[in-house]
Amino acid sequence: MKSNIIDGTLESQVAAIRGFNRFYTRKLGIIEPKLLHSPFTLQEARIIYELAHREHCTATDLVGDLDLDAGFVSRTLQTLQRRQIVTRKPSKADKRVNEVALTAKGRAAAADLESRSRSEVAALLKQMDGNRRVAVVRAMSTIEQSLEPVAEKPVGFLLRSHRVGDMGWVVSRQGRAYAEEYGWDISYEALVAEICAQFLRSFDPTYEHCWIAEVDGEPVGSIFLVNGGNGIAKLRLLLVEEKARGLGVGRALVEQCIRSAREKRYKKMTLWTQSILVAARGIYARAGFQRVKEENHHSFGVDLIGETWELEL
């Protein structure tokens, strides 16, 4: 008798979850032929999202991590490659293996998909009052944490104040990283050099700071807190080296910058970023920043969408 009760309970729970899945996919338009009225199917969008948030990825990685059929992944990648969304090139670590990466067009598509998704969810939340929003978010967090508990990751890095020689490293690494990953020209490196030079010339430790992230004594990231005047702090030049991504370095740098701005009694923090910098924008959003302005511009040799984000302190 006890076994039947357990089986009946489980059956009703299965039905409830399946019912919720049908409701939620319909609510977000996931079952439509094209996701969020974009040019991409759900599976194409999943692959684009994964590539936007990884530094190194192969077709085999996508098959395993997304639990997709290998033939399907291969065909989808071929389609995306013909549409100039992805590119394939031999891995630096193993020339026998091809890595898959987003092109500039692909990164723009990833940013567009994220914007569409954010707008869709925002539209849902706007229909609710504050208490219902909190309840929905809390319930979703409970589902995620119950189904896949987050494993603790070793910190593996430390944050320190800048010292002699760090500005040269920041200029060099910023220039190279954005040239290699996004195709920006040398004018961006020149801008970073100007920002660093100005920071050193007018540095006031009462209101400003620079943090360098280190792993085993080697710099792997940086961020600047700069006085913007009128009680406004500026967050500038966030950078995390490719080899240190996934350790939480970017999040730690941003949180440290915000914490220091509050200690220095700033009223607001602002930053300027680009729509294609998906990973950084995710960190800013999770830290509480709100996007308040966007504009098209041509800078660093490419067409970009600049975004201004703000955080009330």
List all residues 6 or more positions away from 216 whose beta carbon is below 8 Å from its beta carbon: none
Mean pLDDT of the 7-25 span: 76
Stretch(es) of the chain classified as CATH 3.40.630.30: 158-312
Mean pLDDT of the 47-68 span: 83
pLDDT over 90 (residue 168): yes
pLDDT band with cut points at 50, 70 and 90 for residue 237:
very high
Instruction: Provide the 3-class DSSP secondary structure of residue 251.
Output: helix
Q: Is residue 142 within a helix (H) or strand (E), and if so which, with residue range? A: helix 130-147
| Beta strands at 158-161 and 209-215: parallel, antiparallel or unpaired | antiparallel
Residue by residue, DSSP assigns 23-61 as HHHHHTTTTSSSGGGSSS-HHHHHHHHHHHT-SS--HHH
Q: Considering the chain, what percentage of its residues have pLDDT values greater than 90?
A: 49
Is the Cβ–Cβ distance between 254 and 238 less than 8 Å?
yes
pLDDT over 70 (residue 154): no
Residue 161 pLDDT = 93
Q: What is the pTM of this model?
A: 0.57
Stretch(es) of the chain classified as CATH 1.10.10.10: 32-147
Q: Residue 84 and residue 104: Cα distance in Å, rounded? A: 9
Q: Residue 225 and residue 203: Cα distance in Å, rounded? A: 10
What one-character DSSP code corresponds to residue 281? H
Q: Which CATH number fits domain 158-312: 1.10.3720.10, 3.90.1150.10, 3.40.630.30, 1.10.150.120?
A: 3.40.630.30
The domain at 32-147 falls in which architecture?
Answer: Orthogonal Bundle (1.10)
Average pLDDT, the chain: 86
pLDDT over 80 (residue 157): yes
Q: Alpha-carbon torsion 204, 210, 216, 220, what sign?
A: negative
